[in-house]
């Protein structure tokens, strides 16, 4: 996909979106600052990690509500590459550890304003 100027993309609820589609998207759309893939149940760590590397300086808002395949790898990739992230919604992403959230908080502390983690069952927030 070649969309050099695309900044906002909403794909919420698109069950056919997978890591492969996000990888394809990332190769040509590096200015995305708002990505909503809530309830895209076939998206996992590979797709989100690819987006985080492609949209390093632009990604500000990422919504991953009920993306059950998201685990630590995706959150660690966001913490490594997306220092400008302001909003992350990971409610229902049940396999994210305290360590991954701690890394994100440390890396993005100057910009992160909104972190929603409802139903993240592995969180203890120690």
Q: Which of 32-46, 91-105, 112-126 has the lowest mean pLDDT?
A: 112-126
**Is 10 a residue whose pLDDT tops 60?**
yes
For residue 39, the model assigns a pLDDT of: 95
**Is 124 a residue whose pLDDT tops 70?**
no
Average pLDDT over residues 29-50: 96
**Is 82 a residue whose pLDDT tops 90?**
yes
Residue with tokens 């690819």: 50
Supply 62's token pair: 């990422």
Residue 51, H or E segment: helix 45-54
**Is 122 a residue whose pLDDT tops 60?**
no
Return d(Cα 72, Cα 10) in angstroms, integer: 23
Domain segments of the chain as ranges: 8-116
Return d(Cα 7, Cα 119) in angstroms, integer: 29
For residue 2, the model assigns a pLDDT of: 72
Identify the residue with better confidence: 40 or 98: 40
**Is 118 a residue whose pLDDT tops 80?**
no
- In this structure, what are the phi and psi dihedrals at residue 33, rounded to the nearest 5 degrees? -115, -15
Q: Which fold has domain 8-116?
A: 3.80.10
**Is 74 a residue whose pLDDT tops 90?**
yes
Supply 79's token pair: 């913490």
Tell me the pLDDT of the chain averaged across its residues. Answer: 90
For residue 19, the model assigns a pLDDT of: 96
């Amino acid at each position: 996909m070649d969309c050099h100027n695309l900044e906002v993309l909403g794909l919420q609820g698109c069950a056919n979106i997978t890591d492969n589609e996000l990888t394809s998207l990332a190769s040509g759309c590096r200015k995305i600052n708002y990505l909503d893939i809530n309830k895209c149940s076939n998206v996992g760590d590979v797709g989100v990690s690819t987006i985080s590397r492609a949209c390093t300086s632009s990604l500000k808002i990422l919504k991953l509500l009920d993306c059950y395949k998201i685990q630590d790898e995706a959150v660690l990739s966001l913490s490594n590459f997306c220092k400008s992230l302001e909003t992350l919604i990971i409610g229902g992403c049940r396999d994210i550890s305290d360590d991954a959230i701690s890394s994100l908080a440390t890396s993005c502390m100057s910009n992160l304003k909104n972190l929603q983690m409802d139903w993240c069952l592995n969180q203890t927030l120690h």
